[in-house]
Structure 1
Amino acid sequence: MRRALVTLITLVLVAAAACGGETTAGGGGDGGGSGTTGKEGNDLLSVVKERGTLIASTDPAYPPQSSRNPAGEFEGFDIDVTAEIAKRLGVDVKYVTPPFDAITSGGWSGRWDLSVGSITITPERQKVLLFTPAYYYTPASVAVHQENTDIQDPATDLDGATIGSCVACSYESYLEGTLEIPGEKPEFVIDDPQVMTYDTDTTAIQELALGDGARLDAVMSALPTLEGAIENDTPIKVVGDPLFYEPLGVAVDKESPEDPQAFFDEVSKIIQDMHSDGTLTEFSEKWYKGDDLTKKT
């Protein structure tokens, strides 16, 4: 009996060693991947290449940057950029879809390797995330319901208005007057807005579409996202000029369980190479109606 018990314990220990101590990330089916949990102390670049798969977080409902097509496959500008990064690393790619605020707050615990999620580079986020050079720039704009005739200029007509935005994103920070962008000084022109936050821009746009002032007076989002909604017959319209331009970078967690520096340096080089060889311009023109958003305006 004792000998059988010893044999059983030995088998269990061997099986545990074979698993390498790696665990599956929590947060639901799309909230995380197998990641690098359990491989603390390793180099992230080596771990990704050994795994053969880049695990990237993305937004499943943020067209034309990232969304699921009718077949359930991810597509969009950010998706093309992610796939190209994986290709140049020599690995496949797997997408996970955690909440946006879980991405920007850092502390990913190795559940995903990077985020190519149109994340605005800000000093606050740089405290917890490493950012590559900006891979593109997008105009932050305002839309109202198509029946609205009172709001024509965001700088003068939105004071005190109820405005929807994504949660923990640059638009919420702008509306609260706290947005900081390295090298830029945003001009805060909307006084005392009532800010309503949503899981993603698309949800806010759907709320605005319910009617003029029904739940929201306006929505703030990336201009391409607003234009995409209009093309899909959402009853909204863009008003005024962009309020600011966002530099958007690929993010890597500073608190990665394994050393992220070599991985970050390699991804940064890939982004620079994609600028130089025209790949980013090609993707931008593909998804943004011929516009090249990879150059700062």
Structure 2
Amino acid sequence: MPRSLKTTVVAALAFSTFATTALAGEVLDRVKQKGEVVNALVNDYPPFAYINDKNELDGFDVDVAKAFADKLGVKLKLETPGWETIIGGRWAGRWDIAITSSTPTEERAKVVNFPVNYYSVPAVLVVNKDEQAIKSVADITGKRVGVGTGSSYEAYVNRNFSIPGQPAIAFPFGEVQVVPNDETVNFQNLALGAGVRLDAIVASLGTAQGQIDATGKLKLAGEPLFAEPNAVVTDKGDAEWDAEIKRVITELKDDGTLAKISEKWFKVDITKYAF
């Protein structure tokens, strides 16, 4: 390789590394200077985040993000780049934070940070109300099981899931036919009838209960599968920003704000077990 070309490539790689890795304090400084925090989240995960009938972003995560910005004393900007983009890291300064219902895992922690948990909710198995053969997760071997694309539930049904700092999770079932999709679509398909398009769904209790109440065509099967902590997500490289996020979220817990938001959406406090 000619020296000039090699130098150009090395410089380009160095710039790329600089552009995709935050310097210490960089994000915190940017948020303070702009007076605005940019939160990345998904918009197809009701009741945590979704587009309401006024064509506005709404949900538990949206309200938590609003409370976070208020406590920090800045404006909030919401963006919806997609789940895989958010959890893939290397944000290059496009977003400051992702309050978007993400479970910390060892694989994800390699590319993003999880500075603080803000709620914990059980994962459950959902079936059609007319389903008779599936009484617990032990009965899903060989069945078509719907999960959110790229979610921890997808990893769970693939029997490839662990939560750092928690006991090993049991997988009391054999190989299943995993059907990753938008969660709303999964629930619509399951509501069509037992075994019509799906046999079951693995989802969070909050999401599942909302769909059960809304459709009247679904039910829970068996006991909760595991307790899933959900954490705020940040890009790698700014310990000062992570510390500030932890401080603000902890204040929102201590002053009762998180509990009020949870009770608004779920009638119970799903945040109390996260700290």
State the TM-score bracket (shorter-chain normalisation). 0.7 to 0.9
Q: Distance in 1 between matches of 2:21 and 2:74?
A: 19
One of 196, 205, 213 as aligned partner of 2:179: 196
- Give ranges in structure 2 of 5+ residues lacking alignment: 1-18
What displacement does 1:38 show? 10
Contact 2:117 2:274 in 1 (8 A): no
Residue in structure 1 matching 2:31, options 35, 42, 48: 48
2:104 to 114, 121, 124: 121
Q: Provide the residue aligned with 2:157 in structure 1.
A: 175
Q: Residue 40 of structure 1: CA displacement?
A: 7.1
- 1:52-103: per-residue Cα shift (whole Å, max 9, x none)? 2211111212122111221122222111111111112211111111221211
What TM-score comes out, normalization by structure 1 length?
0.80
| Contact kept? 1:284, 1:294, Cα under 8 Å | no
Distance 1:40 1:276, change over 3 A: closer
Aligned residues: CA RMSD: 2.1
Equivalent position of 1:25 in the other structure: none
Q: Tell whether 2:268 aligns with 1:248.
A: no
Aligned to 1:206: 188
Q: Is the 8 A contact 1:134 1:250 kept in 2?
A: yes
Alignment correspondent of 2:133:
150
1:109 and 1:92, CA in 2 relative to 1: closer, same or farther beyond 3 A?
Answer: same
Which of 244, 267, 271 matches 1:289?
Answer: 267
In 2, Cα distance between the equivalents of 1:250 and 1:286?
20
Greater shift, 164-173 or 272-281, is seen at: 272-281
C-alpha separation in 2, matches of 1:210 and 1:108: 39
Instruction: Spell out, residue by residue over 1:177-206, the C-alpha distance to the aligned partner (whole angstroms, 9 max, x if none).
Output: 1111012221112211110111x3222212
In the alignment, the residues of structure 2 paired with residue 40 and residue 118 of structure 1 have an alpha-carbon distance, to the nearest angstrom, of 23
Bigger radius of gyration: 1
Distance 1:283 1:188 in 2: 33
On the 8 A contact 2:89/2:235 being kept in 1, the answer is yes
Could you tell me whether the CA contact under 8 Å between 1:133 and 1:271 is conserved in 2? yes
Partner residue of 1:237 out of 219, 231, 238:
219
Matched, 1:102 2:85: yes
Name the TM-score, length of structure 2 as normaliser: 0.86
Q: Does 2:198 correspond to 1:220?
A: no
- Larger RCO (CA under 8 A, 6+ residues apart): 2
Q: Which moved more, 1:77-86 or 1:106-115?
A: 106-115
Aligned length: 255
Instruction: Please say which of residues 93-102 and 164-173 is displaced more in the overlay.
Output: 93-102
Structure 1: 4+ residue segments shifted above 3 A: 37-42
Aligned: 1:68 with 2:79 = no
Q: Which amino acid aligns with 2:241?
A: F
Gaps of 5+ in 1: 1-36
CA contact (8 A) 2:20 2:90 kept: no
Answer whether contact 2:20 2:91 (CA < 8 A) is retained.
no
Q: CA contact under 8 A between 1:137 and 1:293: conserved in structure 2?
A: yes
Residue 135 of structure 1 aligns to a residue in which SS? strand
Task: Name the CA distance, whole Å, in 1 between partners of 2:108 and 2:172.
Answer: 23
Query: What is the CA–CA distance in structure 2 between the aligned matches of 1:54 and 1:88, rounded to whole Å?
Result: 12
| Residues 202-229 of structure 1, C-alpha deviations (whole Å, 9 max, x = no match) | 2221222232212211111001101111
1:131-185: per-residue Cα shift (whole Å, max 9, x none)? 1221110110111112212111222x11111101011111011111111101222
